[in-house]
Amino acid sequence: MSGMTINESLHSVNGNSIVGPYPDGFEKAIFGMGCFWGAERIFWSLAGVWVTAVGYAGGDIENPSYELVCSGRTGHNEVVQVVFDSKIISYESLLAIFWESHDPTQGMRQGNDRGTQYRSGIYCFDERQRELAEASRRAYQVPLTDAGYGPITTEIVGGAEPVFYFAEGYHQQYLAKNPNGYCGIGGTGVACQVGLFSGPSEQ
């Protein structure tokens, strides 16, 4: 649990367990969209989201620390894991929120935060998530281009369950504990229409 205490393993906003076990039938999603403090805050209050946690994904070593991730030597990204009830909120809806809540065209940065750990990324748990993520990227590129933005640089990794390491306890729900904390995450103002990329089985 990357140094989390028992209290820190409970979500400080809703009290649910960060580390599980999670309710049967719930799904998981992992998104990288810049500073993980702000990314987590975007998702934790959504109806249908059971719990959120910040951590690291997409890297090359086991159990990285925050300091190592920030050094750029591990290849990890700062990410938020979202555990959700797909009967209430769909993966497609989470993708739309992901795209709208940050600028996915900035490469290895997000706002004033620069480094490989701030890159835009989607880490998929199965082939369906990967297909939806790629379809959503293609669909969202159109209005972004129309609005004057460049190519989307978001990495989409998956098909198989991603390796996720929980971040240290003090990072969990950081902006709930520190409401004046800084986070440079921000969207483009370009809307993402869910229906444009939902597959036939989801329509």
Is-catalytic flag, 70?
no
Contacts of 52 (CB under 8 A, 6+ apart): 11, 18, 40, 43, 44, 80, 81, 82, 83, 173
CB 102 within 8 A of CB 120: yes
CB atoms within 10 A of CB 107: 15
Question: Which residue is catalytic, options 35, 124, 183, 192?
Answer: 35
CB 46 within 8 A of CB 89: yes
For residues 68-83, b (16+ Cβ closer than 10 Å) or e, as one string?
bbbeeebebbbbbbbb
CB 82 within 8 A of CB 31: yes
Q: What residues act catalytically?
A: 35
